[in-house]
Amino acid sequence: MTGHTLTRRSIIATGLGTALAGCTNPRLFDSPPPAPANNFGALKPLDLRPENLIKITVCTRPLRPAGPRLEAEVIGDKTIVHNYGHGGSGWSLAWGYAEAARDLAAASRPTSVTVVGAGAIGLTTAIALAETGAKVTILARDLPMETRSTRATGVWSPSSRIGYRSATGDDFPARWEALARRSYARHLSYIGRAGHPVEFTPQFYVRHEPREAPLASDHSGGNEFLHLGRNLRGLTPPWSERGTHPFPTDAGVRGGLGMVFNIAEYTRQLTEDFHAMGGRIERADIGSVAELARLPGDVVVNCTGYGAKTLVSDTSMLGVRGQIAWMAAQTDRLYGIYHRNVTALSRRDGLLIQETGGNDYFGLGDDSETPDRQEFLAAHAKVAPMFDWG
């Protein structure tokens, strides 16, 4: 068995870097836009009564200190493209990395491709490949609505746990920015579609004095997480101080419009789009690199997320635990707040309560997916006072 790896540097050398650099979007909001039409002071309170709790889910975010793996490897006569390890940014970055993975696969001029994994990265990658005219099949242990991707917060967060500053390399921020902008543009194409798979809703940062202390300290061995949000300044609608708001606080509120993924509907829509292009999804459990190399198709694309830690023995992969408590959907009050390190977000497919811990180290190194009701109750106690549901 022989192997050859196209590294990030060789990706750039072969032209992908130029392609990515050329796809950045102009700044959309260089000058302040008109104030949003939303009457932010007239929002109905979120009904957070504990009896509305439906379920608690946990997902493991796939953090790679060096950033997502995007590269091609030749094993024998099979090209395998790896596209995994997007931390807490999987949904946000899915389309940009999908198109980049497609470009890597295109070097082999495939007529048939097998994608392994049916989460956000797998579905978008499969669609991007099908758009080239290739026959694409998804093989996955978990079908789309069973994947960890469906347990995500569902907001635009392209820099969430994307990697460590010391491990990503000097060229990573520019490459990340190009892919993030590319992804954002594709998400925008789903706005206005039936079922609202993607939409903008009001979001607020509700301050608290004294500031809430983080629940986790730095236990990463001194590694600092990379934060790149400023690189996208001007891309999304700006936030501002809100003098009018419905929250009982004198500490101040900042807010604006944020992109939200209604994950149940978005997953359904992506699956439908893939099937409409002739794609097939089959359940299969692939257990090793050797099995990947034996799969049908001219090219195999590995989009297995945290599963890649075992599948391809990626020992660099770190799990980051994230728990969400789900309440019944409240579609007449679609907005979210962040208060005392807790997110309360009303999406069309459910109302979410999530303890964030106050920093990126919360949940780091913990891949347990057992729900913790006490975590929910503690988070609920912090955010519920912001709402009077009568």
> Contact 274/125 with Cβ under 8 angstroms?
no
User: How far, in Å, CA of 279 to CA of 352, rounded?
Assistant: 32
The answer to whether position 30 is within a domain reads: no
The tokens of 195 are what?
């079922």
Q: Which one, of 369, 328, 388, lies nearest residue 55 by Cα? A: 328
What local confidence, expressed as pLDDT, does residue 39 receive? 59
Which DSSP string corresponds to 240-262? EE-SS-SS--SS-EEEEEEEEE-
Report the number of distinct structural domains present in the chain. Answer: 1
The answer to whether position 44 is within a domain reads: no
The answer to whether position 15 is within a domain reads: no
What local confidence, expressed as pLDDT, does residue 136 receive? 98
For the chain, list residues with pLDDT below 70.
Answer: 1-41, 390
The answer to whether position 303 is within a domain reads: yes
User: How far, in Å, CA of 224 to CA of 235, rounded?
Assistant: 25
What local confidence, expressed as pLDDT, does residue 11 receive? 34
The answer to whether position 13 is within a domain reads: no
The answer to whether position 37 is within a domain reads: no
Indicate the length of the chain as a whole number.
Answer: 390
User: How far, in Å, CA of 149 to CA of 263, rounded?
Assistant: 8
The answer to whether position 43 is within a domain reads: no
User: How far, in Å, CA of 141 to CA of 302, rounded?
Assistant: 13
User: How far, in Å, CA of 349 to CA of 319, rounded?
Assistant: 26
What local confidence, expressed as pLDDT, does residue 12 receive? 31
User: How far, in Å, CA of 164 to CA of 169, rounded?
Assistant: 9
338-353 confidence digits (pLDDT tens): 999 999 999 999 999 9
The answer to whether position 69 is within a domain reads: yes
Residue numbers of the domain that contains 224: 3-8+49-386
